[in-house]
Amino acid sequence: MRAVSEGTVSEGTLAATVGTASIGRVVRDQRKAIWVATSLMVLGLFVGQYDEWALAFCIAGGVLLGLVNHLVTEFWLLKIITSGEQPTRAQLTRTTIVRLTVLSVVAVGIAVAFWPAGIGLLLGLAIFRLISLAMTAIPLLKELKNA
């Protein structure tokens, strides 16, 4: 990968070595995130044992929404990498705003519909986001430390 960062490999060659973007590939690449999300959903459903089933399903739904957002983002990034195109800042901004707007509208709509237990959906979404960020940051910090 050092050769790629130094610019000795052409974009077409990089796209050919990376392969094609597919949902199956994203799922394979994100196995750890899927396992973490599944574990969090099961853990969230344990809240239901205390007769708070609506809250438990909202927490699990929030984690699921976070996972779907994560997988959609990863698929979009993989499509960009494998195509070899250089997206503009405007394209990146527009796509991110649309994705986050849809996520926010769905999350707030469900939270309002199932209020007060619906706040668990926002909690589940936030918990998955924090864990997802940690799962991304730890390998990067290790790489920076070794460099």
- Backbone dihedral region for residue 7 (phi beyond 0: left; psi -120 to 50: alpha; all else: beta): left
pLDDT of residue 127: 92
What are the tokens at 16?
């050919």
Residue-wise DSSP of 14-50: HHHHH----HHHHHHHTHHHHHHHHHHHHHHHGGGGG
Burial class of residue 56 in the structure, from the number of CB atoms within 10 Å of its CB (0-12 exposed, 13-18 middle, 19+ buried): buried
Locate the domains of the chain by residue range. Answer: 2-146
pLDDT of residue 9: 39
Residues 89-140 pLDDT 10s: 998 899 999 999 999 999 999 999 999 999 999 999 999 999 989 888 888 8
Burial class of residue 52 in the structure, from the number of CB atoms within 10 Å of its CB (0-12 exposed, 13-18 middle, 19+ buried): middle
